[in-house]
Amino acid sequence: MAKNRPETFIDELCAILVRHHAIDAQEASVYKTQFRAGQASDADFDDFDQYLVDEGLVEKEDMLKALSVYYDVPAIDLEGDLIDDELVRNFP
Protein backbone atom coordinates (compact mmCIF):
# COMPACT_ATOMS: atom_id res chain seq x y z
CA MET A 1 0.00 0.00 0.00
CA ALA A 2 1.18 3.53 -0.78
CA LYS A 3 2.89 5.55 1.92
CA ASN A 4 2.58 9.28 2.45
CA ARG A 5 6.18 10.12 3.39
CA PRO A 6 8.12 11.54 0.40
CA GLU A 7 11.36 9.70 1.24
CA THR A 8 9.49 6.40 1.41
CA PHE A 9 7.82 7.17 -1.92
CA ILE A 10 11.16 7.88 -3.58
CA ASP A 11 12.78 4.73 -2.20
CA GLU A 12 9.82 2.49 -2.99
CA LEU A 13 9.36 3.90 -6.48
CA CYS A 14 13.03 3.29 -7.23
CA ALA A 15 12.74 -0.27 -5.96
CA ILE A 16 9.79 -0.89 -8.28
CA LEU A 17 11.64 0.62 -11.25
CA VAL A 18 14.64 -1.61 -10.50
CA ARG A 19 12.46 -4.74 -10.18
CA HIS A 20 10.88 -3.93 -13.55
CA HIS A 21 14.30 -3.33 -15.16
CA ALA A 22 13.51 0.29 -16.04
CA ILE A 23 16.69 1.36 -14.20
CA ASP A 24 19.40 -0.50 -12.30
CA ALA A 25 20.22 -0.15 -8.61
CA GLN A 26 23.22 2.10 -9.24
CA GLU A 27 21.15 4.44 -11.42
CA ALA A 28 18.45 4.53 -8.75
CA SER A 29 20.98 5.63 -6.15
CA VAL A 30 22.39 8.34 -8.42
CA TYR A 31 18.93 9.63 -9.40
CA LYS A 32 17.80 9.83 -5.78
CA THR A 33 20.94 11.75 -4.82
CA GLN A 34 20.60 14.14 -7.76
CA PHE A 35 16.92 14.77 -7.05
CA ARG A 36 17.46 15.36 -3.35
CA ALA A 37 20.35 17.74 -4.05
CA GLY A 38 18.19 19.64 -6.54
CA GLN A 39 15.36 19.92 -4.04
CA ALA A 40 17.72 21.39 -1.47
CA SER A 41 18.69 24.07 -3.98
CA ASP A 42 15.11 24.88 -5.02
CA ALA A 43 14.94 22.64 -8.12
CA ASP A 44 12.25 23.09 -10.75
CA PHE A 45 10.82 19.62 -10.06
CA ASP A 46 8.38 19.09 -7.21
CA ASP A 47 7.83 15.39 -7.77
CA PHE A 48 10.42 12.65 -8.11
CA ASP A 49 8.41 10.66 -10.64
CA GLN A 50 7.98 13.68 -12.90
CA TYR A 51 11.65 14.55 -12.49
CA LEU A 52 12.70 11.12 -13.77
CA VAL A 53 10.45 11.40 -16.83
CA ASP A 54 11.23 15.07 -17.57
CA GLU A 55 14.97 14.40 -17.45
CA GLY A 56 14.61 11.41 -19.77
CA LEU A 57 15.92 9.04 -17.10
CA VAL A 58 12.83 6.81 -17.20
CA GLU A 59 10.41 6.29 -20.08
CA LYS A 60 6.89 7.56 -19.48
CA GLU A 61 5.43 4.09 -20.05
CA ASP A 62 7.78 2.55 -17.47
CA MET A 63 6.85 5.24 -14.97
CA LEU A 64 3.15 4.69 -15.58
CA LYS A 65 3.59 0.96 -14.87
CA ALA A 66 5.67 1.65 -11.74
CA LEU A 67 3.12 4.12 -10.36
CA SER A 68 0.38 1.59 -11.07
CA VAL A 69 2.23 -0.93 -8.90
CA TYR A 70 2.99 1.62 -6.18
CA TYR A 71 -0.61 2.83 -5.87
CA ASP A 72 -2.08 -0.61 -6.62
CA VAL A 73 -4.42 0.72 -9.32
CA PRO A 74 -4.60 -0.01 -13.05
CA ALA A 75 -2.62 2.32 -15.29
CA ILE A 76 -4.47 4.32 -17.92
CA ASP A 77 -2.72 6.75 -20.23
CA LEU A 78 -5.24 9.37 -21.34
CA GLU A 79 -2.80 11.58 -23.22
CA GLY A 80 -4.42 12.67 -26.46
CA ASP A 81 -7.90 11.53 -25.41
CA LEU A 82 -10.73 14.01 -25.05
CA ILE A 83 -12.12 14.06 -21.54
CA ASP A 84 -15.46 15.63 -20.68
CA ASP A 85 -14.62 18.50 -18.31
CA GLU A 86 -17.97 18.12 -16.55
CA LEU A 87 -17.19 14.49 -15.68
CA VAL A 88 -13.82 15.42 -14.27
CA ARG A 89 -15.32 18.15 -12.08
CA ASN A 90 -17.73 15.61 -10.60
CA PHE A 91 -14.94 13.38 -9.26
CA PRO A 92 -14.37 13.75 -5.53
pLDDT tens digits along 5-21: 556 889 999 999 999 99
* Contact (CB, 8 A) for 29 and 8: no
Mean pLDDT, the chain, rounded, equals 84
Residue 46 has pLDDT above 80, yes or no: no
End-to-end Cα separation, the chain, in angstroms: 21
Within 1-92, residue ranges assigned H as helices are 6-19, 25-40, 48-54, 60-71, 85-89
- Whole-model pTM above 0.85? no
DSSP label at 83? -
Residue 53 has pLDDT above 60, yes or no: yes
For residue 5, the model assigns a pLDDT of: 55
For residue 6, the model assigns a pLDDT of: 55
Residues 6+ apart with CB under 8 A from 7: none
